[in-house]
Amino acid sequence: MKIFHKSHKRLTIIFIVLVVITATILTYLSISNIKNLRELTKKEVIDEEEKIIYDIAENFQQYINQIGENIIPGALIDIIEIKIRLKELEVDPFISQTFILDSVGNFIKPYFARINTNNRQSSNLFLKNYTLGERNEYQSLNYSSAERYYLASLSSSTNIIDSTKVFNALARVSLKKSDYEKSIKYYKVILDNYYEVVDDYGIPYVNYTIPQLLTISDPAYIIPIFNALHDMLILLLEDKIPMNTSTSGILKQIANWYLENEYVLDDNNKDYIDLIDQIEKQLSFIRSKGTYITEFIKSSNNSNQTLINGFSPLSINVDSINALLLVMKGNDNIYNIGFELATGSLIKKLIDDRLSQDAKFDYKVDYVLEEPVIKRANDDLTTYLRLSAFTPNQYLLIKMQDDKLISSYLLRLTGAYTIALLLLAFGLILGVILVVRDISRERKLSQLQTDFVSSISHELKTPLTSIHLFTESILLNRVKDNKTKKEYLNIILKETSRLMRLINNMLDFSKAEQGNLKLNFKETNISELVQSAIDELDQWIKDKGFIINKKIENDLLANVDPDSLLQAIFNLMSNAIRYSDKVKEIYIRVKKVENYIYIETEDKGIGIPEDEINLIFTKFYQIDDIKMITGKGSGLGLTVTKEIIEAHGGKIVVKSKVNAGSTFTIILDIAANK
Ligand code: ADP
């Protein structure tokens, strides 16, 4: 027993020490964890931010790599083939402009006029007639003879430029003659056949004809003029009529004319404005980027540029211009081609695509055109990345959608930690309490068992000693008179039955412990059973000087196991005697109320402390430090009694008060056990 106690004590101490150490370590770790958590979360955010912008930059790079894949440098010789390929490229929503330049850097698409360097030879006859025409037109204001001279010069024209110039003069003169019909006819000739022809200043002749056409104010000619203008716009867009610095002014005049005459034209012709816008866009492309492209093409050394599918990136980033052009340089005698990428809208799409993917936090990404200044201090978790190697000063800037998110995230996490820790601590404390309680209960039980052994030995020894003593006296004929002899034999009988009851209790207890308490129910007269218990104790009661008050209703019948019920009643009665002190009165009552039989023993003895009433039915339990009439018992009597009564489907209740006495009541259900 002692070994058991010691090892248990040691285990408890080890357990408590382990719990305390674990809890301390956990608390320490959690506190330092929360401290580090802010830094860790910040790192996590920055890592995620970097991943996102790296992805966007990579997707941007990939996008560029993949476009233009079907343009093979070898195809750069055939202009028609090139135009077809570029048309295919234009389908891409992020390609805002495609372009072609000839080997010396002149724009073919969009078509931009260059200064005419061809030295043309005009015949003398042409020059003479044309000069006479001009003289008649401007000096004599004789338009008819001017027309004649111009027609004469036309037949002596030796080149296309001279011819175009004459058609323009003829149209002009007809206009002055108010012969609008003829004038429009001449202009149409230029638009249809000589649209590409430019004068010595690089200005296409159509640029002269259009403003003149627009001076016709006769409403009858609005439709033919409209058609002519429409043709011109289409030719400009199709890169047939070369654009020029004067084109923009002409487009404005056309737009104004259109607005003035809109009322005559039907709604279908609204595409005018659209056509003008498209041409304007091309013009502004040439204006803002033309020089850069030309210079880039002319520069021989750009080997440091990365090639993407044969295209070299050309990033223009000056003033308000920000563009990424990809140019494929043809060698001498072949064309240079390229396209402009609408970087802004492409990146916006790539950003949106990437941000729609799952991420731990919400971010916003900006595309900025200068290197951002970032202060890493405080909680500024902004990160940036250069968009690509060939887009200097273009950056992706990423930050959290909500700056306070980390703080609130940490707060939530800290809360969760705290709750978990508290729960853990609570659980550990509960565990310790339970273990300690369990151990003290075990210890108490083992103490009870030890006491049991000593008291049971005593209980056994006392009657055995008397039996031994009295039997010996009789056997050795020490007792002479019969009266004393009988008295001795009575004592022997009484002690033997006391022993039997004790042993019965122990046997019943051990059966009950093993769940083997088998009862033999039969209809029994409970009134008689109680009376027989009194009779059996009669001598003892009298010896101790007790007064018994009985109140037993007659012939109360119930189905019980008479032997064990007798044992139970007997236990209660003998307790009543043993735990009485000065007042030696015992009350025995048996009554029937409705379907129940009540068997009650009441004493006026020492009573049971209130906090122990529930414990007295526990096995081996005995109240400490009480005076007893006889020696200590076994601590099993009430345990066995309760087992027996409950096996009958009945109940046992106690009422007791210290120094006033105790009442034990067995309640049996008549209806049970039938
Ligand atoms: P024991 O053999 O010790 O009497 P029991 O199980 O019969 O064992 O009783 C358990 C304890 O309950 C007793 O030791 C005693 O302290 C208390 N007890 C039982 N009956 C009475 C009673 N009538 N009056 C006072 N105390 C009692």
Averaged in consecutive runs of 10 residues, what is the pLDDT profile of the chain (674 residues)? Answer: 54 75 77 75 89 94 81 69 86 91 87 71 91 95 95 92 94 94 93 88 87 89 89 91 90 91 71 89 91 85 65 79 80 82 91 92 90 70 86 88 78 80 82 83 78 73 85 87 87 83 81 78 94 86 88 94 91 90 93 95 93 87 62 76 91 94 95 78
Ligand 1, from 503, 622, 655: best to mutate by most atoms within 8 Å of Cβ? 622
Per-residue confidence (pLDDT) for residue 629, from 0 to 100: 45
Amino acid at 224: P
Per-residue confidence (pLDDT) for residue 585, from 0 to 100: 94
Per-residue confidence (pLDDT) for residue 407, from 0 to 100: 77
Per-residue confidence (pLDDT) for residue 31, from 0 to 100: 67
Find the DSSP H helices in 562-609.
562-578
The residue nearest atom 8 of ligand 1, judged by CA position, is: 635
Q: Is 328 in the pocket of ligand 1 (CB under 6 A)?
A: no
Cis peptide before 242 (omega within 30 of 0): no
Residue 62: partners with Cβ closer than 8 Å, 6 or more residues away: none
- Nearest by Cα to 309 from 630, 71, 652: 71
Beta bridge partners of 652: 666
Distance 575 CA to ligand 1 centre (A): 6
Token pair for 668: 């049996």
Q: Is 296 in the pocket of ligand 1 (CB under 6 A)?
A: no
Per-residue confidence (pLDDT) for residue 72, from 0 to 100: 64
Q: Are 110 and 355 in contact (CB under 8 A)?
A: no
Residue 144: partners with Cβ closer than 8 Å, 6 or more residues away: 177
Token pair for 135: 């003289």
Distance 505 CA to ligand 1 centre (A): 14
Distance 454 CA to ligand 1 centre (A): 16
Distance 608 CA to ligand 1 centre (A): 8
Distance 563 CA to ligand 1 centre (A): 21
Ligand 1, from 575, 630, 634, 643: best to mutate by most atoms within 8 Å of Cβ? 575
DSSP states of 19-36: HHHHHHHHHHHHHHHHHH
Per-residue confidence (pLDDT) for residue 444, from 0 to 100: 77
Long-range contacts of 424-429 (CB under 8 A, 24+ apart): 424/23, 424/26, 425/23, 428/19, 428/22, 428/23
| Upper half-sphere CA count for residue 564 (Cβ side, 13 Å) | 26
> What global pTM score does this model have?
0.54
Per-residue confidence (pLDDT) for residue 2, from 0 to 100: 42
Distance 622 CA to ligand 1 centre (A): 6
Q: Is 606 in the pocket of ligand 1 (CB under 6 A)?
A: yes
Per-residue confidence (pLDDT) for residue 443, from 0 to 100: 82
Q: Is 572 in the pocket of ligand 1 (CB under 6 A)?
A: no
Per-residue confidence (pLDDT) for residue 99, from 0 to 100: 93
Chain-centre distance of CA 215, in angstroms?
Answer: 71
Q: Is 638 in the pocket of ligand 1 (CB under 6 A)?
A: yes
Per-residue confidence (pLDDT) for residue 112, from 0 to 100: 87
| Sign of the alpha-carbon dihedral angle for 206, 212, 215, 218 | negative
